[in-house]
Amino acid sequence: MARAWPLVGRDSELAAIGASIRPGSRSRGLVLAGPAGVGKTRLAREALELAAHRGAATRWVCASASSRDIPLGAFADIIDDPGRPAHDAVTRAVGAIGRVAGTTGLVVGVDDVHHLDELSAVLVQRLVVRGVATVLLTLREGEPVRDAVRALWKDEQVRRVDVRPLTRAVTAELLREALGGPVDSATAGRLWALTQGNVLFLRHLVDGEVSAGRLRRVEGLWCWQPSPAHVPPVLAEIVRELMGRFSDGVRDVVDLLALGEPLPAELLGRLTSPEAVEDAESAGLVRIDTDSARLQARLTHPLYGEVRRAGLGTLRSRRLRGSIATGLQADGAETSADVLRRAVLAADSDLPPDPALFLAASHQAVRLFDLVLGERLARAAVDGGGGPDAQLVLALSLSWLSRGKEADALLGGLAGTALQQGTRGLAVAARIGNLFWTLRRPAEAEAVLAGALAAASDESERTLLLAFRAALDASLGHPRRALQRGVRLLFPAPRDDHVALMAAFAVAAGAAVAGDVHLLGRAATIGDEAGRRAFVSIPRFGLGDWHVLGLRLSGDVRAALEVAHRLQAASEDVPGPAHLMGLVLRGHAELACGRVRTAERILREAWAGLRPSPHEFRFRCRTLLALALAMAGDATEARQLLAERSDGGHPAYALMAPDDFLAQAWLHSDVGATSRAVAIAHEAAALARSLDSPAFEVLGLQTALHFGDGTVAARLGELTAVVHGSRARVAAAHARALAAGDGDGLAAASGTWEATGDLLAAADAAAQAALAFTRAGLKGSASAAAARAHRLGLACEGARTPAIRAAARPLPLTAREREIATLAATGLSNRDIAELLVVSVRTVEGHLYRAGHKLGISDRATLGTLLGEGQIE
């Protein structure tokens, strides 16, 4: 697929080029050196366009391997006598080229200067030395170059600039520009890892995958689902040409690394020969890195391995993988990573099945959140005769991959199997978790749990089941019960890591909504440490979700961001749901900080992967994305997401239900129905109160405060005695100042909110301060507060509240007049407004009349322009 690719991430190179070709520059040119495909030619072409724009004459010369043996062959298109060996050929060529100089001189670009013949190299040198032209040369790194050309930068007559591959971040930016839309971060990461920032490789790969339909838009996001052999033919040919021809020994080295890199150089030498490894390194196909005390061999570019793997036959691939696996085992002293790598190799080799190896490796894969690999290795263990323990790991992997029915079939069969002591309890607990979180069948999960507890005779099994009992209590909306049961199990920390993880889940949930920040931190620390050790580690994301929520509710939003970032980083390069869960946590934390567009971008990416899935985090992601969109003013899309709640939601999010109300409140505020937004925020607070969630009640009341409701001050003051953290205390002070019309108090609240990291609350308090100062006639203070609100509003990336909008367009209207005028400006009739706000039509008419009289206008179109509102979509 042909597409125009922008020039991205080359500001420093372009600056160096611009300085070198500027008239009067000390340098007479520039050589752009770097690996093939990094964009040297594109940069040189851009430079020639710049020179032409400045009035210089330009000439472009392409050297090639075919012209290398022809005297002056590269310059055949701009001189009359290429190929003549006459002694004055170079002198006449210099004169001929010099005669085409423009008003500001001549710039000559020479592509692939390493392919120049001897006379062409001398010609380039004389153009520079005699001041006839400024030259722009491109040089492939590592290629031999004629002495006449090398002397140019050795003698500092031209400047050498090394052009490196693009970084991961710049590659993501380039993809976004080239594809014309946002790109899934996992997709950008995989494309960068495969191309290593080589623009030529990236362009061919992307164009090929778009044409094949594997790189496509999903939910407005470019996502890549690569096939096993995903190197387009054109790119494969380029890579093969770069690799060149090599001997059988070097071929074996390259193929072994293509299947199993990195490999110890000593082992690679034993599997091939030391001489073959040395030859492969000399040819630039292999690099040797120092890893701890051993030398590790890797291919110099990932695409070398992709191209070689695509061309290997099945039998050769299986034999070579078996050789690597056997060699790694013979080396001894394996780390857990070595066990995992050896198992992956052995699973697709000609070696006999090793179920014990596959089972141990599947544990490690799951611990690292790679559920796809965990399922594959667990299935290999089962197929190899691994028994019930392997079936349990397979069932857990299937459950976490949202394949709950397959998992339940396995777990149901395991119930009557003679499992090892300790594993039996885990199997029962896995079935309970699968029924509840994956299949959304809470009644069945409760029944299985009750029956298992009644029948449990082993104390360790009973303890694990009690931990699950506490976790279900938390998820079903019983935080006090979850706390009571969880605390008894968690302190002191239990020896069983699975008990510790699930008990911590329960305690963290209860502490989060109760506002007990100290207990929340203790539980999260114990649970996360246990989760790192236990192979049943996926519940760490559920624990992290409660931890982030608790920190958001307490007001410690920076800590929430740190927690989310850790889990996202741990799952960033892992395929499957763990990556998406990490994104949801990160988006939640960014939202808590008030960075609504950043949160929207991250949550939208998670939603693209979760929407077609029944995964439980899908339901959390939907609410948070709707909340971010509503806060950012994207009412139509937020409304669509909230309308999808007809699927009944997920039973695990009972305690988080207030967030659904808050999203609705922000949605109403966005379209101007401020009083309705206040009422819904109070509904969220009332729901939180009914769920024994005082910390969530604080957030609900603070949301009403965002919409201008100062009546919440008294209740917020009461909650400061119950809820720990800064949010309740600062919100109460903010509410008192708003109720009193105290501009100084609102300005102080803004500063405190900013110090906590809650940028949206800070912006809103500053905007409310500006309005209070305006009403008091303090123009200087009002201007300062408005400027502060504007600065903080920019940091919030466009979040909108009634106060921020009003501060941006101060008008002599009461809050009610502005609300009704805003609704009228969106196109609603007087009757529609009356029904929405639950007032009479006459009341609406009266407020509109007074608003129009104060503003000196009589039609709704002018009112809309003045208020800066658009139509409801």
| pLDDT tens digits along 16-56 | 888 877 776 777 888 999 998 899 999 999 888 888 888 88
Between CA 269 and CA 267 the distance in angstroms is: 5
Q: What angle do CA 13, 18, 23 make, to 5 degrees?
A: 155
Does 135 lie in the same domain as 21?
A: yes
Structure tokens at 8: 């991205």
The CATH number that applies at residue 40 is: 3.40.50.300
3-class secondary structure, 48: helix
Q: Which of 125, 141, 162 is the last residue of a domain?
A: 162
CB of 232 closer than 8 Å to CB of 277:
no
Q: In what order do the strands lie in the sheet with 286-291?
A: 263-264, 294-299, 286-291
Q: Which of 509-518, 528-537, 685-694 is the least confident region?
A: 528-537
In a domain, 688, yes or no: no
Q: Average model confidence (pLDDT) for the chain? A: 88
Instruction: Tell me the average pLDDT across 552-579.
Output: 93
Going from the C-alpha of 255 to that of each of 119, 224, 259, 481, the distances in angstroms are 41, 26, 6, 59
Strands 29-34 and 134-140: parallel
Structure tokens at 266: 């000593």
Does 91 lie in the same domain as 210?
A: no
Q: Which of 112, 132, 162 is the last residue of a domain?
A: 162
Structure tokens at 486: 């969880």
Could you give phi then psi for residue 106, rounded to 5 degrees?
-130, 135
Does 192 lie in the same domain as 226?
A: yes
pLDDT for position 615: 94
In a domain, 367, yes or no: no
Burial per residue of 141-174, b for 16 or more beta-carbon CB atoms within 10 angstroms, e otherwise: eeeebbebbbebbeeebbbebebebbeeeebbbb
Q: What is the DSSP letter of 871?
A: -
- As a whole number of angstroms, the longest Cα–Cα distance in the chain is 104
Could you give phi then psi for residue 322, rounded to 5 degrees?
-60, -40
Residue 3: CA count within 13 A, CB half-sphere: 22
Between CA 224 and CA 554 the distance in angstroms is: 39
Provide the β-strand partners of residue 637: none
| pLDDT tens digits along 636-645 | 899 999 988 7
Residue 818: CA count within 13 A, CB half-sphere: 20
Does 174 lie in the same domain as 148?
A: no
Does 221 lie in the same domain as 129?
A: no
Assign 869 a pLDDT band (cuts: 50, 70, 90). Answer: very low
Instruction: Tell me the average pLDDT across 298-312.
Output: 91
pLDDT for position 197: 92
| pLDDT tens digits along 684-711 | 999 999 999 999 999 999 999 999 999 9
**What is the C-alpha end-to-end distance of the chain, expressed in Å?**
35
Strands 286-291 and 159-162: unpaired
3-class secondary structure, 750: helix
Structure tokens at 138: 């491109």
Assign 1 a pLDDT band (cuts: 50, 70, 90). Answer: very low
Does 118 lie in the same domain as 35?
A: yes
CB of 837 closer than 8 Å to CB of 830:
no
Which has the higher per-residue pLDDT, 832 or 213? Answer: 213
In a domain, 62, yes or no: yes
229: exposed, middle or buried (C-beta count within 10 Å: 0-12, 13-18, 19+)? Answer: exposed
In a domain, 846, yes or no: yes
Looking at the chain, the whole-number percentage of residues with pLDDT higher than 90 is 56
Assign 485 a pLDDT band (cuts: 50, 70, 90). Answer: very high
Does 186 lie in the same domain as 154?
A: no
Q: Looking at the predicted structure, is the pLDDT value of residue 797 above 70?
A: yes
Strands 221-224 and 286-291: unpaired
Does 108 lie in the same domain as 158?
A: yes
Q: Which of 143, 162, 181 is the last residue of a domain?
A: 162
Assign 419 a pLDDT band (cuts: 50, 70, 90). Answer: low
Looking at the chain, the whole-number percentage of residues with pLDDT higher than 70 is 92
Does 84 lie in the same domain as 151?
A: yes
| pLDDT tens digits along 811-842 | 556 667 767 777 777 777 888 777 777 777 77
Q: Which of 138-152, 222-236, 265-279, 677-691 is the least confident region?
A: 222-236
Going from the C-alpha of 431 to that of each of 289, 446, 855, the distances in angstroms are 46, 11, 66
Secondary structure of 246-257 in HEC code, one letter for each residue: CCHHHHHHHHHH
Strands 263-264 and 294-299: antiparallel
pLDDT for position 671: 80
Q: How many domains does the chain have?
A: 3
Assign 493 a pLDDT band (cuts: 50, 70, 90). Answer: confident
Among 771, 858, 789, 790, CA closest to 821: 858
Does 150 lie in the same domain as 174?
A: no
Q: How many residues are there in the chain?
A: 873
Assign 94 a pLDDT band (cuts: 50, 70, 90). Answer: confident
pLDDT for position 859: 66
Instruction: Look up the pTM and report it.
Output: 0.84
Between CA 264 and CA 274 the distance in angstroms is: 12
Q: What is the DSSP string of 320-355?
A: HHHHHHHHHHHH----HHHHHHHHHHHHTSSSPP-H
In a domain, 70, yes or no: yes
373: exposed, middle or buried (C-beta count within 10 Å: 0-12, 13-18, 19+)? Answer: buried
Q: What angle do CA 562, 566, 568 make, to 5 degrees?
A: 115
In a domain, 702, yes or no: no
Does 138 lie in the same domain as 58?
A: yes
| pLDDT tens digits along 253-279 | 999 999 999 999 999 999 999 999 999
Does 187 lie in the same domain as 146?
A: no
Between CA 289 and CA 308 the distance in angstroms is: 21
In a domain, 829, yes or no: yes
In a domain, 124, yes or no: yes
3-class secondary structure, 381: helix
Only one residue has tokens 């998992």, namely 407
CB of 223 closer than 8 Å to CB of 608:
yes
The contacts of residue 857 (CB under 8 Å, 6+ apart) are 863, 866
pLDDT for position 873: 26
The contacts of residue 343 (CB under 8 Å, 6+ apart) are 354, 357, 358, 360, 361, 362, 377, 380
Domain that holds residue 224: 168-230
Between CA 714 and CA 8 the distance in angstroms is: 55
Between CA 646 and CA 2 the distance in angstroms is: 43
pLDDT for position 645: 72
Between CA 392 and CA 410 the distance in angstroms is: 8
Phi-psi region of 103 (alpha: psi -120 to 50; beta: other; left: phi over 0): alpha
pLDDT for position 307: 92
